[in-house]
Copies of this chain bind each other. A is one copy, B any other.
Amino acid sequence: MARLSDVIETFIKDMIKETGGEAEIQRNALATRFNCVPSQINYVIGTRFTTEHGYFVESRRGGGGHIKIKRISVNNPYNDFMHLILSIGDSISEHSAVAHINNFVDYKLISFRDGILMKAAIGSKALQYAFPANRDRIRAEILKNMLMRLIV
């Protein structure tokens, strides 16, 4: 029932928290620990630790190889916030929008409650009556409007 990928995700996130921002893992060792094929580690990283999710990943192959996963840090909240809003562009998928919102919450640029409301506003259920071809465009507009309102 419990998804292995979720377990691995949590494990890595805990590791990052403990070490204050960075986890260094060995792919094969982790795979052995969780009894899965090594490439599943790549799957987890590729779906949950992307730039969009606020992570930066580096690695080295060969003997003594490793994978480093860092949480991207925010130094200038206001600037980064603006930058992120601008980076949303004219169109955005629900998946992407949720990742952005979670980041805003994580970096304390908006509250947890704000995040809940925003996710409700841009979810597929909320936009079900918009033509599929327009949904991503409308979603981007709604998201940008909400974000702008909070900082203007």
A residues sitting closer than 8 Å to B (CB atoms) are 1-3, 6, 63-64, 113-114, 116-121, 123, 125-131, 134, 137-138, 141-142, 145-146, 148-150
Distance from A90 Cβ to chain B, minimum over Cβ atoms (Å): 9
5 CB contacts below 8 A, A to B, read A2-B64, A114-B117, A121-B146, A127-B138, A130-B130
Number of copies: 2
From B3, B64, B121, A121 is in contact (CB under 8 Å) with: B121
In the bound complex, CA of A141 to CA of B3 (Å): 32
Known: A121-B121, A121-B142, A121-B146. 20 other contacts (CB 8 A): A2-B64, A3-B63, A113-B114, A114-B117, A116-B149, A117-B117, A117-B146, A117-B149, A117-B150, A120-B142, A120-B145, A121-B145, A126-B141, A126-B145, A128-B141, A129-B134, A129-B138, A129-B141, A130-B134, A142-B142
Interface of A is mostly: helix
Are B118 and A117 within 8 A (Cβ)?
A: yes
Contact check, B130 vs A145: say whether CB atoms are below 8 A apart: no
Bound-complex Cα distance A117 to B144 (A): 11
